[in-house]
Structure 1
Amino acid sequence: MKVEFDAELWLWDARRADTWTFVSLPVDASEEIDDLAGPRRGFGSRRVRVTVGGTTWTTSIFPDSGRGAYVLPIKRAVRTAEALDIGDIATVSLELIDP
């Protein structure tokens, strides 16, 4: 399964020394992933291949019950390479690789 979407980068504060930057998948895409995919991995995660701009990497998406959707971490190297910051809109191409 592949999905492409635009999403705003947002910050999740772990209330520790570290913070994480994410985008939220669309709710309909999240529901489709749940319908098509097999058993989840740790923390309910799903393995994905992601492209933002010219950067492609493999990572996991995680369910966020508060948002009713999966969330995708955008690592610092990607944000730097693509000149993205909190509040910017990224075009994301995501492929589920571990159904």
Structure 2
Amino acid sequence: MEVESFTVTGTLWLWQAAEAQGGGWHFLTVDGPVAAEIRYAALGRANRFGAIKVAATIGGTTWRTSLFPHKESGGFLLPVKADVRRREVVAAGSAVVAELRV
């Protein structure tokens, strides 16, 4: 199985329902042509909910996670863990560049 890499640039955002609770999930939206390319590269490897396992890198931090389907954009959501945000000094509203290996 060949590993393909994709670069995504975007702004981190905080899931709205989580704001009211004082914490929450931070995401990077993966949409447009890159989402289509990832979908094609992962044919037959998505789980039954459409999630795709990836190795993600922001700055010098790499972690394993999954991309989750995102109805609103037609693409995917990349969850960015608190540990990654702390190490890379990013938060909701920060512009980031992520490398995704599928």
TM over 0.5: yes
1:9 aligned to 2:12? yes
Question: Percent identical across equivalent pairs?
Answer: 33
Q: Mapping of 1:1-99 within 5 angstroms?
A: 1-14=4-17, 17=21, 19-39=24-44, 40-96=46-102
Q: What SS class does the counterpart of residue 15 from structure 2 fall into?
A: strand
Distance across 2 between alignment mates of 1:36 and 1:92: 17
TM normalised by structure 2 equals: 0.84
Please report the RMSD computed on the Cα atoms of aligned residues, expressed in angstroms.
1.7
Instruction: Normalising by structure 1, report the TM-score.
Output: 0.86
Distance apart, 1:42 and its partner CA? 4.4
Unaligned runs of 5+ in 1: none
Corresponding letter in the other structure for 2:37: E
What number of residue pairs does the alignment pair up? Answer: 96
Asked if the contact 2:27/2:78 (under 8 Å) is kept, the reply is yes
In the superposition, relative to structure 1, how do residues 14 and 42 fare at CA in structure 2: closer, same or farther (>3 Å)? Answer: farther
Whether the 8 Å contact between 2:31 and 2:74 is mirrored in structure 1 is no
Q: Note closer, same or farther for the CA distance 1:14–1:44 as it changes in structure 2 (3 Å cut).
A: farther
Paired with 2:88 and 2:41, the residues of 1 have a C-alpha distance of 31
Instruction: Show CA shifts across 1:47-97 (max 9, x none).
Output: 00011011001100011011111110000000001000100001101110x
